């Protein structure tokens, strides 16, 4: 009998499947797996190695985890477009790009490269993000868009992508495959006392939808 441990991907053993809602500067996104911030240097090295060596089957397994979580949360409404955050240190044909394409295939949704890659030398680190050039849009999605990231160490790229799309009036949601269990904030619980009364009793949506 083949040992399950022998055929399980490394991340099944190292990075727990622990779906969560994370946020950066009030912009929330979903994550599938987490790594311990106490082992951040070791985890980042292992993830970087995985991304460099991952074959299509491993990218497909990661994509299946993202797709399943999206299906459970949303029911996979039709008409959405899938994209990835702008590729940076990994360059073109990055693991993140291949991951987003694989997610789109599994959800039977279209994939679109929305932003031009931003090749940057050195290591991916939040302190280095200030050196990145602004996002350059290659194509504008025509409707709601699901943004996929492979690793959200700080949530910077997810915040950047979701904010850019929403500024254009495009509905957007985000899922990162892996994030740190600290350093990315858990999204705060909403306080409905601060909202408009019409939203608390259900009238807000009807009023917003009225011409």
Structure confidence by residue, pLDDT tens digits, 131-190: 678 899 999 999 999 999 999 888 999 999 999 999 999 999 999 999 888 655 555 655
The pLDDT value given to residue 166 = 97
Whether the CB-CB separation of 20 and 186 falls below 8 Å is answered with yes
Neighbours of 179 (CB within 10 A): 27
The residue-averaged pLDDT of 22-36 equals 91
Mean pLDDT, the chain, as a whole number?
Answer: 79
d(CA 47, CA 114): 25
Spell out the domain ranges in the chain: 9-191
d(CA 178, CA 186): 14
The residue-averaged pLDDT of 25-34 equals 93
pLDDT range class, residue 21, cuts 50, 70, 90: very high
The pLDDT value given to residue 196 = 53
d(CA 100, CA 28): 19
The pLDDT value given to residue 7 = 46
- Comparing 199 with 176, the larger pLDDT belongs to 176
- 206 has a pLDDT exceeding 50: no
203 CB-near residues (< 8 Å, 6+ apart): none
The pLDDT value given to residue 101 = 95
pLDDT range class, residue 194, cuts 50, 70, 90: low
pLDDT tens by residue, 110-147: 999 999 988 765 555 555 556 678 899 999 999 999 99
The residue-averaged pLDDT of 79-98 equals 82
- Comparing 96 with 93, the larger pLDDT belongs to 96
pLDDT range class, residue 208, cuts 50, 70, 90: very low
The pLDDT value given to residue 41 = 78
Measuring CA to CA, how many Å separate 142 from each of 26, 27, 42, 104, 157?
A: 25, 22, 40, 16, 21
pTM (whole model) above 0.75: yes
The residue-averaged pLDDT of 54-78 equals 89
CATH architecture of the domain with residue range 9-191: 3-Layer(aba) Sandwich (3.40)
- 191 has a pLDDT exceeding 90: no
81 CB-near residues (< 8 Å, 6+ apart): 109, 110, 111, 112, 141, 142, 143, 144, 145, 146
Long-range contacts of range 26-30, CB-CB < 8 Å, 24 or more positions apart?
Answer: 27/155, 27/158, 27/159, 27/162, 27/163, 28/187, 29/147, 29/149, 29/152, 29/155, 29/158, 29/162, 29/173, 29/174, 29/175, 29/176, 30/69, 30/73, 30/173, 30/174, 30/175, 30/176
């Amino acid at each position: 009998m083949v040992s399950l441990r022998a055929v399980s991907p490394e991340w099944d053993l190292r990075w727990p499947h622990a779906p969560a809602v994370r946020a950066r500067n009030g912009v929330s996104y979903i994550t599938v797996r987490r790594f311990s911030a106490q082992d951040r240097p070791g985890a980042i090295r292992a993830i970087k190695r995985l991304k460099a060596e991952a074959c299509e089957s491993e990218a497909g397994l990661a994509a299946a985890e993202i797709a399943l979580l999206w299906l459970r949360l949303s029911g996979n409404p039709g008409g959405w477009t899938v994209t990835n955050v702008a590729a940076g240190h990994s360059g073109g044909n990055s693991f993140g790009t291949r991951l987003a394409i694989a997610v789109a295939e599994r959800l039977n949704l279209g994939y679109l490269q929305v932003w031009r890659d931003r090749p940057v030398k050195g290591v991916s680190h939040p302190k280095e993000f200030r050196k990145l050039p602004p996002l350059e849009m290659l194509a504008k999605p025509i409707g709601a868009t699901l943004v996929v990231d492979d690793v959200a160490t700080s949530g910077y790229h997810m915040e950047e992508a979701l904010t850019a799309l929403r500024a254009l009036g495009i509905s957007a949601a985000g899922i990162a495959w892996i994030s740190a269990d600290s350093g990315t904030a858990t999204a705060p619980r909403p306080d409905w006392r601060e909202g408009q009364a019409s939203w608390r009793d259900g009238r807000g949506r009807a009023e917003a939808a009225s011409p």
